[in-house]
Amino acid sequence: MYKYISEAFQKEYKERSPEYRKRVTTWRRGPTVVRVEKPTNLARARSLGYKAKQGIIVVRVKTGRGQRKRPHPWGGRKPAKNAAYRVPGKSYKAIAEEKASRRYRNMDVLNSYFVGRDGQYQFFEVLMFDSEVYYGTDRHMGRGFRGLTSSGKKHRGLRGRGNGYEQA
């Protein structure tokens, strides 16, 4: 069943169907971080660890596409400080996970996945869990900020070859 859900989601995205465009348009007009009742792509959410039970929530996050340009300083300032700024190597997915962590401080990031894109924004659904339910403590673990999620490990260079941990 999940195979068909995944295929339908991919087909909808590739063809940019009217339902997809309407959905992305409503997301664009909404807030940056919003809790959703159920995942948009159930197959992907389940493969990343989602279960419909107490202590796990789904949050949709929109992140701006493109680099942040600083306003031009009309006056005497150092030209080197006027460049576009973005953390090199950090993906929009990792940025979305951090935004979700800031909004829901009592929850921790489990994983995230892509759900849509338009000319201005990319949209991700972030799976979050309550650490009190899973670990017996209410402290915030901060997995998204420490680069312990899948996308965090990727931008830290801990995937693939050349990280010093390969097996002989």
Can you list the alpha helix ranges (DSSP code H) found in the chain? Answer: 2-15, 18-29, 42-47, 92-103, 131-135, 150-155
CA distances from 25 to 7, 29, 104 (A): 22, 7, 24
φ/ψ bin of 10: left (φ > 0), alpha (ψ from -120 to 50), beta (otherwise): alpha
Beta carbons of 151 and 141 less than 8 angstroms apart: no
According to DSSP, residue 16 is labeled T
Mean pLDDT per block of 10 residues along the chain (168 residues) reads 83 83 93 95 90 93 77 67 64 92 90 91 94 68 84 82 53
Q: Which residues have a Cβ under 8 Å from the Cβ of 107 and sit 6 or more positions away?
A: 57, 100, 101, 128, 129, 130, 131
> What is the structure's pLDDT at 143?
85
Predicted model pTM? 0.79
Domains present along the chain, CATH in parentheses: 26-155 (3.40.1120.10)
The DSSP line for 93-138 is HHHHHHHHHHH-TTEEEEEEEEEEE-SSEEEEEEEEEEHHHHHS--
Distance, in Å, from the CA atom of 136 to the CA atom of 92, rounded to the nearest integer, reads: 31
